[in-house]
Structure 1
Amino acid sequence: MFHSPRIVRWLVLIVASLGAVSLLEMVHLPAALLLGPMFVAIAFAVAKKGVALNRTLFRASQAVVGAMIARAMPLDVFKEIAHTWPIFIMTVFSVIAVSTILGALLAKFNILPGTTALWGSSPGGATAMTLMAGNFGADVRLVAFMQYLRVLLVTLLATIVSHFLAPESAAVSVVAQLEQPIVWSAFVLTMAIIAGALLLARFISLPAAPMLISMVMINLAMNVGGLQIELPLPLLAIAYAIIGWSIGLRFTKDILRYAFHALPAILFSVLLLIGICCVFAWLLVEYAGIDPLSAYLATSPGGADSVAIIASSVSVNQPFVMSMQTGRFIAVLCLGPALSRLVARWLHQ
Structure 2
Amino acid sequence: MSGRTAGLWLALLAASAAGTAILEWIGLSAGLLLGPMVAAIAFSARGAGLSLPRPLFVGAQAVIGCLIAGTLDIGTFARVVTQWPLFLGVTAATLGASSLLGYLLSRWRVLPGSTAIWGSMPGAASAMVVMADAFGADARLVAFMTYTRVVCVAGAASILAAALGAHHGGDWLVTMLAPAPLIPSLATLAVAGIGAVAGLKLRIPAGALLVPMAVGIALHAMGVLRMTLPEPVLAVSYALVGWRIGLAFTRETFALAAKALPRVLLSTFVLIGFSAALSLVVARLTGIDPVSAYLAVSPGGLDSVAIIATSVPVDQPFVMAMQALRFLAVLALGPTLARAAATRFAKSNSSPSLLGEGDRDA
Question: What is the TM-score with the length of structure 2 in the denominator?
Answer: 0.79
User: What corresponds to 2:35 in structure 1?
Assistant: 36
- Alignment of 1:62 onto 2:61: yes
Alpha carbons 2:99, 2:117 under 8 Å: kept: yes
Does structure 1 residue 147 correspond to structure 2 residue 150?
yes
* Pair 208,219 (structure 1): closer, same or farther in 2 beyond 3 Å: same
- Partners in 2 of 1:223 and 1:148 — Cα distance? 32
Q: For structure 1, which segment, 27-36 or 227-236, has the greater mean C-alpha deviation from structure 2 after superposition?
A: 27-36
The equivalent residue for 1:183 is 181
Distance of aligned partners of 1:24 and 1:213 in 2 relative to their CA distance in 1, 3 Å threshold: same
Q: Is residue 102 of structure 1 aligned with residue 101 of structure 2? A: yes
CA distance in 2, matches of 1:246, 1:284: 31
Offset at residue 21 of structure 1 (A): 2.0
User: Counterpart in 1 of 2:89?
Assistant: 90
Match of 2:346 among 331, 336, 348: 348
Query: Counterparts of 2:335 and 2:7 in 1: how far apart (Å)?
Result: 41
Alignment correspondent of 1:231: 229
Shift of 1:80: 0.9
Deviation at 1:258, TM superposition (A): 4.4
The correspondence of residues 19-34 of structure 1 with structure 2, limited to 5 A, is: 19-34=18-33
Residue 129 (structure 2) aligned to one of 131, 134, 144: 134
TM-score w.r.t. length of structure 1 = 0.82
Residues 64 and 311 (structure 1), Cα distance of their counterparts in 2 relative to 1, 3 Å cut: closer
Task: Give the % identical residues.
Answer: 34
Give a deviation string over 1:296-347, Cα, whole Å, max 9, x none: 5544444555477458744x65544443333323322332233233333333
Q: Report the alpha carbon displacement of residue 250 of structure 1 after superposing the two structures with TM.
A: 4.0
* Cα drift, residue 281 of structure 1: 3.6
**1:116–1:133 Cα contact (<8 Å) kept:** no
In structure 2, which of residues 208, 211, 232 is the aligned counterpart of residue 210 of structure 1? 208
Deviation, structure 1 residue 194: 1.5
CA distance in 1, matches of 2:174, 2:283: 34
1:58-87: CA deviations, max 9, x gaps?
Answer: 322222222223233322221111111122
Alignment map for 1:1-349 (pairs within 5 Å)? 4-51=3-50, 53-113=52-112, 116-124=115-123, 129-136=124-131, 137=133, 138-139=139-140, 140-160=143-163, 162-163=164-165, 170-171=168-169, 173-284=171-282, 288=285, 290-291=287-288, 293=290, 295-303=293-301, 306=305, 309=308, 313-314=312-313, 319-349=317-347
Contact kept in structure 1, 2:24 and 2:31, CA below 8 Å: yes
Q: What secondary structure is seen at the aligned counterpart in 2 of 1:348? A: helix
Amino acid at match of 1:68: L
Secondary structure (helix, strand or coil) at the match of 2:56 reads: helix
Q: Distance in 2 between matches of 1:308 and 1:208?
A: 17
CA 1:40–1:278 in 2, change beyond 3 Å: closer, same or farther?
Answer: closer
Cα pair distance change 1:307/1:190, threshold 3 Å = closer
Contact 2:28 / 2:161 at 8 angstroms: preserved in 1?
Answer: no
Q: Give per-residue Cα distances to partners, 1:247-288, cap 9 Å, x unaligned.
A: 4334332422444533332332233223333433444456x3
The one-letter code matched in structure 1 to 2:287 is I
Give yes or no for contact 1:158–1:297 (8 Å, CA) kept in 2. no
Unaligned runs of 5+ in 2: 134-138, 348-362
The alignment partner of 1:262 has SS state of: helix
Structure 1 residues 15 and 297: CA distance shift in structure 2, 3 A? closer
Tell me: CA distance 1:325–1:213, structure 2 relative to 1, closer, same or farther (3 Å). Answer: closer
SS of structure 2 residue aligned to 1:157: helix
RMSD: 3.1
The change in CA–CA distance for 1:267 and 1:141 in structure 2 (over 3 A counts) is closer
- Equivalent pairs counted in the alignment come to 337
Deviates more, 1:265-274 or 1:291-300: 291-300
Give the match's secondary structure for 2:29: coil
Which deviates more, 182-191 or 37-46? 37-46
Give the whole-Å Cα distance in 1 for the aligned partners of 2:200 and 2:297: 36
In the TM superposition, residue 89 of structure 1 has moved relative to its aligned partner by 1.9
Using the TM superposition, give the Cα deviation of residue 184 of structure 1 relative to its aligned residue in structure 2, in angstroms. Answer: 0.9
| Deviation per residue, 1:112-150 (Å, 9 max, x gap) | 3555534543333xxxx2222221123323321222123
In 2 relative to 1, CA 76–302 (structure 1 residues): closer, same or farther, beyond 3 Å?
Answer: farther
Deviation at residue 15 of structure 1 after TM alignment: 1.4
CA deviation after TM superposition for structure 1 residue 229, in Å: 0.8
| Pair 1:95–1:191, CA change in 2 (3 A) | same
In structure 2, what residue type is equivalent to 1:215?
M
Letter in 1 for 2:346: H
Contact 1:155/1:307 (<8 A) preserved: no
Alpha-carbon distance in structure 2 between the residues aligned to 1:100 and 1:273: 11
Counterpart AA for 1:236: L
